[in-house]
Structure 1
Amino acid sequence: MKKRLLLPPQSPEHPERLKPYPVKLMQHQEQTAPELAHKINHIIANSRATALMLQEIAELVGLAANVDCCCLVTVTNDESTEPTTASWCSDEYLGIPLPHEMFSMERFLMELLVLQCAAEPRSIDEISVIRESLAIGCQNLPLPVKAVLAIPTQFGGINNGVISLIKFQPYDWHESEKQILKTIESSCAIAFSQVTQAQLIASQQQYLQKSNQHQSLIRQLTVLSRSNLELNQMLQLAIASTAESLQADRGLLILLKYTDPLFRTPARRQIPQAKADVVGEWRREKTNSSDISSESFFLADCGLCQRVFVEPGRPVIINDYTHLQDTSTVAPLFSITQLPAVLLMPLENQGKILGFLVLQQSVARNWQTAELNLVEMVCAQVSNAIIQSKTLRQVQTLVDERTAKLQSSLELQNRLRERTKQYVEQLRELNQFKDEFISNISDRLRHPLTNMRMSIKNLRLPGITPERQGRYLDILENECTKEINLINDLLMLQKLESEQEPPRFETIDLNTRIKEISNSLAPRLESKGLTINLDITNEPLKLQTELESVDRILQELLNNAHTYSERDTIIHLHTSHQVNQLVDQVMIKVTNTGRGISEEEATYIFDRFRRGRGGRWTPGTGLGLALVKSLVQHLNGAIAVESTPIPNSQLSEICFTLTLPQFSDESKPYSESD
């Protein structure tokens, strides 16, 4: 698209301004030219690549060169891209009306050939470029051009624009003005290149957008042809997508039903006997008219449709219905008077015409080759879909009975195979679990017994000192405690799973219990460089629950955080209150920093004797989290774990979220019946 920013005449004529120019040389030209180039570069760097950028440069150059007009014109070898022009005129010539007799461009250009149009002689190609740019840029100037100093710019060795300095009176150009053009030539070449590239990119984007719309249409039709939609539904969606994508005013999809079943490939120009049914319609403007998708007409009554058989293999394109020899033979449903422009493309398969795809416009439209090719591809897709649908209906009846029997047999085999596969997988998991259980429980039982046995042997040694004797007794006591705790944990798990006793509820201050437990564990945590950050309120957080179970849950979660936390990190403990489905709940979050938990490990991390890969070499029974889960279920709560990787680190944040009802069913402050 051609862009011109020219200054139109606005005010009465000023004859005194047409006097010959005095010779005015710019002061400090040697310093002004580089500064001018620098200012142009600044404009290029801070402006968008549009004609407005060229307008700023034209004004800047015109003022610096002290000329009447400065004209910038882009040059391109691409015929699809028109030149962009920007002109600036001095304020004293604004408003001067155009003379009745403008200068002859051809005569002026012939005179220009013998003038010094630039700082040095130019080749024939460069003079041609200057001539074309002047013909474009000077056609709307307010006064006849009397003197021009022009220079072509080059980018990448190719002419891409022309800079013209213009005087409206005879004038002899000086070396200073020529030096200005030489200095700014490279900067203006960059500006011309950016404007041309921006124009080219905009054109390509428009082309790509249209191509993407067409490709999207083909993809939609391909998906439709493979979908399980009924044929009529698929055809309706196909004509709607096609007409909307090609911006038609109306789209019709018509199928033919031949009354002569022997009719296959008719002789040339033979019109068969057939009935046409409208199976799909789309309109750009929704109207109150009744649906015509059920209307029909005979092919013999529509001369428009007969043209497909008269000229087979070619679409029917009519810009105006008056071009038809006899419009009375057009079927009324085409509304030819309101939509006179018609594109009718046959739906053809193996020489047989199945129907027509019709696109109509209220105004004349020149269909591009790419659009016609697209419609032809759509017709091919629709034709294939129609044939496939008819073939499937015919074959389906023959296949249904055999398929039903075969399907029954296959379903039985699949069920047996799937069940066998599940049994094998369960056996494999049970076997693996058994091995892990035996290995873990054996280690947990053997290790303390071994230590106790060694301590007993050492106690029997003669001459053992009281100090060593006390140390061995401490070992015996600690290892016995471990064994007792392991057995107690197993018994507690068994007791919780049997659900023999309901919870013994009492009201506690959760925040107080958390402070007490964290203080008791502080020395143990400090040995590993760990600290606890409590995010709890100073106000009491009342909780109706079983105190012993809550204490054990908090202890196990903090013990787990201590065991698997990275050294010198912080354990965060947060409490909050929430209402979920009219039920008051207390949420407790324990977050530590350590090795991440995979999705696979998270599925069994609360199982007894199941430990993550990273914890297999860490001392422990593998019962802590299993006990936590059983206690949480005992209190009608829920627990979950989430592992979030820390960016640029091999560690993760592991968060255990515990949710407990704030009040028991017997003691909650309100109910749904209140």
Structure 2
Amino acid sequence: MESQANEALLQEIAQRQHLIAELGQQTERERLMSAISLRISASLNLEEILNITVTEVRQFLNCDRVLVYQVEPKTEITTVVAESTQPSYTSLLDIKIATPLFGERLGEYSRGNIRVLNDIEQQKSATVINQFLQQVQVKASLTVPLLYGGKFWGLLAIHQCSGPRQWQKLEIDLLKQLATQLSIAIQQSELYQQVVELNTNLENQVKERTKELQQSLDYEAILKRISDDVRDSLDENHILQVAVWELAVALNVDGCDSALYNISEATATISYEYTTSLPTCQGKVIKMTDFQDGYNQLLQGQYFQFCQLVPGWKGKVAMLACPIFDDRGALGDLWLFKQRDKAFSDLEIRLLQQVANQCAIAMRQARLYQASQVQVQELEKLNNLKDDFLSTVSHELRTPLSNMKMAIQMLGISLNRSQELFAEIRKPPNEQNKVARYYQILQNECERELNLIDDLLDLQQMYAGIQPLLLTSINLQTWLSEIAEPFSQRLKNQQQQLTIEVAETVPNLIGDSASLERVFTELLDNACKYTPPGEKIVVKAVNCQEVMQISVLNFGVEIANSERQKVFERFYRIPNSDPWKRGGTGLGLALVKQILSRIGGTIVVAHSDHNQTCFMVEVPLTPVL
């Protein structure tokens, strides 16, 4: 009985010891799982996670080798990516295992099945994978697949190389749990790497886009600088020189040139070039037929680029050609050269096209300007010939007309002695005899021709600017009265009233008295000529800041809006507007406008009430020299 009791006690003690051992192992396993999980979760670096796992597992299970295989999905080539092994055994890290070795088991592993080998030598089937394991000193192995999201990633394997090993359920369960944790960690790490790679790609794209935007802004600045420079120039040579220099320096190319086309001769002459190392071609005349395909494209407004060997230089040269083209055709071209096989970028092509467009506009303007300058020179020549002709004719006509005037005066004196001509002239026109009427016609027409010649000469001198200005201080109240005095008898005969209105506060005017007297004498003469009997003529002076406004207003007559600008043209006379039939030269107002322009003044037909005409003169208080 006693022996049975002792045996039962010993069994109970053994069971308790076994239970305690199992509890210790379970506690250690949980500690290991917790430690490994904590260290894995603290890192997203896959290499670090795998190394932690194999090291901790080998130490905990006291095995000879722990490793992690990664299987490439496309090629199914398996690579040992992490390993912890005893120094006395062969390292398998980084070796690649061909498909046939694992191919026979990949299907099983992909379905989540594990492989337990307690003694490889006792295996009945001599599989290829078993042969491989024996070659690397493996006596027993435990292999668990690494799966996440239905994807087979690789394997976690334990090798016992010192001898066979009976793998315990606790060890198998531990490895399964570790494989699950490791699979999650691998998934997280790969997701993190994808995020990092995505962020890196995005950063690179942002940098590249920023670089492109900055380059685009730089090119816009270059284009603006070139456009401003060529737009301000009317020299075709300067336009091409600026474009070539700015493009070559800004784009850092090895060469740039510009050619002008002669369409009739089918040639292109290189006018300007910039080169750092390429052979010079400035001044070279190229026949378009020697490069027919290229020039056909350029003449149609199309650019092109190509690579070609250049004589005198080793290697190929990339070339970009763009026409200087507008709606009227091709004027020339721009070429870029660089010693590279790389093609020109879209930004470089667009910049060259825009510069070529600006050059086309500027060159067309320059040619129009040159053509207009030629026309201006021709017109100046014609104008000088006209002025010389008028001056010569006027002088040639004045001498005989002066003689005629003197002869008419002598004839009048002779007729007065014999027939009392002057008394006859003072009679009303319908009571005068024929001699008196014919004499008056002869005298008036002679005077009219002399006035015409005087006006022509004065106008010619005004245009030529040969009459000097003699500045004096003019009291307008006194001065205007003196100008009006010669018209008093004429005003009385025509039953017209003249009023001069000058305020006492109006200052003296500094100006050329003779020129201004000619102006207002002409305006008063016109006022008397076109004002009907019984109407008024008003001359009014007003100080308006830095100018003096002097208006001549006559009542009873109105100039139509359509005629107000024409009256200042030479030889223009308003039809059917002279009630006194006194006639005129048609040069008076043209001469007035030219005189005022010379002294810095202006004249306009101002807006006035119905049936009134107002000529407004403005002259500066301070003379313009």
Fold match (TM-score > 0.5): no
Q: Please report the TM-score for the alignment, with normalisation by the length of structure 2.
A: 0.38
Higher relative contact order (CA 8 A, sep 6+): 1
Greater helix share, structure number: 2
